[in-house]
Amino acid sequence: MSSSEYYQPELETISRSELQQLQLERARKTIATALNAPFYKEKYGKLGLSADSLRSLDDLKKFPFTTKQDLRDHYPYGLVATDRRNLVRLHSSSGTTGNPTVIFHTKNDLDCWANRVARSLYMVGLRDTDVFQNTSGYGMFTGGLGIQYGAEKLGALTVPAAAGNSLRQIKFIMDFGTTAIHAIPSYAVRLAEAFREQGIDPAHDTKLTTFIIGAEPHTEEQRRRIEELFNIKAYNCFGMSEMSGPGVAFECKEQNGLHIWEDSYIVEIIDPKTLEPVPDGEFGEMVLTTLDREGMPLVRYRTRDITRIIPGPCPCGRTHRRLDRFRGRSDDMFIVKGVNIYPMQIEKILMEFPQLGGNYLITVDTVGSNDEIFIDAELDDLFTDDYTVIQALNKEITRKLKDEILVTPRVRLVDKRTIPQSEGKAVRLVDKRKKF
Ligand code: ADP
Ligand code: ZN
């Protein structure tokens, strides 16, 4: 790897013991800063906690968790830990119920965030010679500005196309010779369809080499599909507005887990029921502590995202640990006939069928006195309209789904473009059951 400002071996390949020392110093600073926020001041005051309570990383367990509800209850300024004059930007999550969660940033916060994104993009091979198109919505959504400033920092020529309008996206890709794209996975699939509708083969007729996909759960099968559709490499990017935005964790070229940038975050994986740490390598809820945020540090924030730490070192040489592909949020899980089901289990099976397009919708509803799972899956354009063939396919899909989720779903194979598609993150699950 050639040297560059955005390959930072002194941090990316730092020894574990040095990294832990750095984390401890930064965590102490974080606690000291957090105490300036009314929320933490009250909470830690009652418990007698201060930066001095943190003598080793193990002591972090003494500090209570911070939850999304805390952010809502103290909306909007209750967790701000600095003078208002130091704040230069706020972002909020796309939350639909109650108060949104808002995060405030200082100049330095924005700089650290852009650095993480630049480092991540460099890691997957992007350079200042790339033309980088961002199809995220700009504005409050962090995938717009967050990726934008990181790509600029790297020195790529950026195309801030923003969300939607596939014809315009395609025109930019063709006219500017776009080599790299940031897109949510559901939109990447949609964009490939739009290319084909224009008579352009996205696998051969563009200069694209790299996709950055993230912001919503997706399966390995969905990634491979996107890679084939465009003949590119696609890398998984994880982020959330509470942790600033994209670039919290990012896949390296090995495509085997996302390095979580541990100089910026302390990661814990807990059992969401007992709140105790799970053994290494097991799935649980990810809890994060920010290490370089001044405007609004968060300590032991419960992300509700389910993942695990992949044990062992990564062949790329980076020492920051790897997170497994995210299964979704704990609240994405639904229970039917006593069985716990994640939408991603269903996606995994659907994507095994090349006869299907990328779009699908799971609906859970009460029929009579039973809960039933309906799965609408769009057929690929190039597929047959022979009814018996479709029926046989339906049977095969249903059987494989039953093996995976242990409940027999009612599968409906529908024409392409039948399932409504949102401009932002895909809606994969609708629960229509009556709640008593
Ligand atoms: P909102 O909370 O309104 O969706 P955010 O943009 O903050 O707004 O969304 C962050 C969430 O998106 C994460 O907590 C996670 O559930 C999901 N997410 C982001 N990136 C990924 C990814 N690469 N894989 C799976 N889920 C992701
Ligand atoms: Zn790696």
CATH of residue 373's domain is: 3.30.300.30
Q: Give residue-wise pLDDT tens across range 79-105.
A: 999 999 999 999 998 665 567 899 999
- 53 and 115, same domain (yes or no): yes
- Looking at 290, 306, 331, which one is the last position of a domain? 331
Ligand 1 atom nearest residue 143's Cα: 6
- 260 and 358, same domain (yes or no): no
Report how many domains make up the chain.
2
- Looking at 274, 300, 331, which one is the last position of a domain? 331
Q: Is the CB of 217 under 6 A from ligand 1?
A: yes
Q: Give residue-wise pLDDT tens across range 168-198.
A: 999 999 999 999 999 999 999 999 999 999 9
The average pLDDT across 327-332 equals 85
Q: Give residue-wise pLDDT tens across range 338-360.
A: 899 999 999 999 999 999 998 99
- 342 and 382, same domain (yes or no): yes
Instruction: Give 302 Cα–ligand 1 centroid separation in angstroms.
Output: 13
CATH of residue 44's domain is: 3.40.50.12780
Closest CA to 230 of 258, 262, 199, 195: 195
Ligand 1 atom nearest residue 213's Cα: 23
- Looking at 309, 331, 353, which one is the last position of a domain? 331
| Predicted local distance difference test score (pLDDT) of residue 146 | 98
The verdict on residue 436 lying in a domain is no
The verdict on residue 47 lying in a domain is yes
Q: Is the CB of 326 under 6 A from ligand 1?
A: yes
- Output the CA–CA distances (angstroms, integers) from residue 373 to 186, 359, 414, in the order listed: 21, 17, 16
Ligand 1 atom nearest residue 100's Cα: 3
Q: Give residue-wise pLDDT tens across range 121-146.
A: 999 999 999 999 999 999 999 999 99
- 231 and 340, same domain (yes or no): no
* Domain span at 56: 1-331
The average pLDDT across 43-58 equals 98
The verdict on residue 68 lying in a domain is yes
Closest CA to 246 of 261, 262, 267, 232: 261
| Predicted local distance difference test score (pLDDT) of residue 59 | 98
Q: Whose CA is nearest to atom 14 of ligand 1?
A: 240
Instruction: Give 257 Cα–ligand 1 centroid separation in angstroms.
Output: 16
Helix/strand/coil (H/E/C) assignment for every residue in the chain: CCCECCECHHHHCCCHHHHHHHHHHHHHHHHHHHCCCHHHHHHHHHHCCCHHHCCCHHHHHHCCCECHHHHHHCCCCCCCCCCHHHEEEEEECCCCCCCCCEEEEEHHHHHHHHHHHHHHHHHCCCCCCCEEEECCCCCCCHHHHHHHHHHHHHCCEEECCCCCCHHHHHHHHHHHCCCEEEECHHHHHHHHHHHHHCCCCCCCCCCCCEEEEECCCCCHHHHHHHHHHHCCEEEEEEECHHHCCEEEEEECCCCCCEEECCCCEEEEEECCCCCCECCCCCCEEEEEEECCCCCCCCCCEEEEEEECEECCCCCCCCCCCEECCCCEEHHHCEEECCEEECHHHHHHHHCCCCCEEEEEEEEEEEECCEEEEEEEEEECCCCCCCHHHHHHHHHHHHHHHHHHHCCCCEEEEECCCCCCCCCCCCCCEEECCCCC
Q: Is the CB of 237 under 6 A from ligand 1?
A: yes
- 120 and 199, same domain (yes or no): yes
pLDDT for residue 247 is more than 70? yes
Q: Is the CB of 142 under 6 A from ligand 1?
A: yes
- 294 and 346, same domain (yes or no): no
- 182 and 274, same domain (yes or no): yes
- 302 and 339, same domain (yes or no): no
- 380 and 257, same domain (yes or no): no
The verdict on residue 266 lying in a domain is yes
Instruction: Give 203 Cα–ligand 1 centroid separation in angstroms.
Output: 28
The verdict on residue 318 lying in a domain is yes
The verdict on residue 58 lying in a domain is yes
Q: Is the CB of 329 under 6 A from ligand 1?
A: yes
- 70 and 110, same domain (yes or no): yes
| Predicted local distance difference test score (pLDDT) of residue 99 | 79
HSE at residue 14, side-chain half, CA atoms within 13 A, is 17
- 170 and 182, same domain (yes or no): yes
The verdict on residue 13 lying in a domain is yes
pTM of the model: 0.94
- Output the CA–CA distances (angstroms, integers) from residue 289 to 24, 107, 156, 375, in the order listed: 11, 20, 30, 38
Q: Which of 238, 288, 429 for mutating ligand 1's site (highest number of atoms within 8 Å of CB)?
A: 238
- Cβ atoms of 34 and 49 within 8 Å: the answer is no
- 136 and 238, same domain (yes or no): yes
The average pLDDT across 265-286 equals 96
The verdict on residue 358 lying in a domain is yes
| Predicted local distance difference test score (pLDDT) of residue 4 | 67
Instruction: Give 311 Cα–ligand 1 centroid separation in angstroms.
Output: 23
| Mean pLDDT over each residue of the chain, to the nearest integer | 95
